[in-house]
Amino acid sequence: MPYRILNTDEAAKYLNLSRSDLDRLVKDQEVPFERRGDRVVFRRRDLDGWASQRILSANPKRLAEFHRRSTEHAGLESNAILPELIQPDQIAPEIAAKTKPSVLREMVEFAAQTGWVFDPAELVESLQAREELCSTGFPGGLAFLHPRAQQPYRFEVSFLVLGRTLQPIYFGAPDGQPTDLFFLLCFKDDMLHLHALARLCLIAHKTDLLAQLRAAPDAAAMHECLIAAERAVVEDLHPAGKAA
């Protein structure tokens, strides 16, 4: 979505909400917005951070509903998407970082090895800005690193990388526990970014993926665990004969 300032209908579509739901959030001042005379408008940059944090803190039922709406509203895939986004060479099972700033740098350095990151330094700065807004840590020792706002010029293609640190890092997760598994979401499209984030959060909630990733001996095994976990969640969301 190229527009930086959205009206209410555009914002509702972007957030996969009904107009009435967004009106309620505005009334209760639970979503970032501005008033310009009689008009309510939304800055896409502010919505990006709000929406991603809402997904990270959502329970499985709300995640599933967001996922359903994003599939319908944006025409996104309800079947497996991870095989197109991540391969074994995009998984680093031995990240040496010991601090939050160093894991951001090392994950970007690893992502840059794909050749798809146009400006690694700018990406690090954007990740830092997102973490200053609110940690992307997730319960269970997982984090979903991503820029504060998705920009089509930042990456050549949309992709994921996954890193496993040699020792857990205190990353500001809501359960107060350290983090050792880090996804870096690199997306050209904001709607696909939120859809993929919701899918990954659902997988983390509904499967034993985190324990499997920690036990896997290498990148190839970690990739197999990830693909199998997504397959199980997709089959649960869209039983045979009902998948789009």
- 160 DSSP β-pair partners: 185
Which residues neighbour 55 within 8 Å (Cβ) at sequence distance 6 or greater? Answer: 63, 66, 194, 197, 198, 201
- 182 DSSP β-pair partners: 143, 163
The gap from C-alpha 50 to its chain's centroid, in whole angstroms, comes to 12
CATH fold, domain 82-237, is Mannitol-specific EII; Chain A (3.40.930)
Task: Assign domain 5-56 to its CATH architecture.
Answer: Orthogonal Bundle (1.10)
Identify the residue whose tokens are 């690090």.
124
- 145 DSSP β-pair partners: 184
Q: Quote the pLDDT of residue 239.
A: 61
- Contact (Cβ atoms closer than 8 angstroms) between residue 95 and residue 164: yes
Q: Is 116 helix (H, G, I), strand (E, B) or coil?
A: coil
Q: What is the pTM of this model?
A: 0.85
What residues does each domain of the chain span? 5-56, 82-237
Angle between helices 19-27 and 8-15 (to 10 degrees): 110
Per-residue pLDDT of the chain (244 residues; tens, 9 = 90+): 445 888 999 888 878 788 888 898 998 888 889 998 889 999 887 887 788 888 888 888 888 887 777 777 656 666 889 999 999 999 999 999 999 999 999 999 999 999 999 999 999 999 999 998 889 999 999 999 999 877 888 999 999 999 999 999 999 998 999 999 999 999 988 878 888 999 999 999 999 999 999 999 999 999 999 999 999 998 887 665 444 3
Give the CA dihedral 143, 128, 42, 48, nearest 10 degrees. Answer: -30
Q: Is 143 helix (H, G, I), strand (E, B) or coil?
A: strand
- Contact (Cβ atoms closer than 8 angstroms) between residue 86 and residue 223: yes
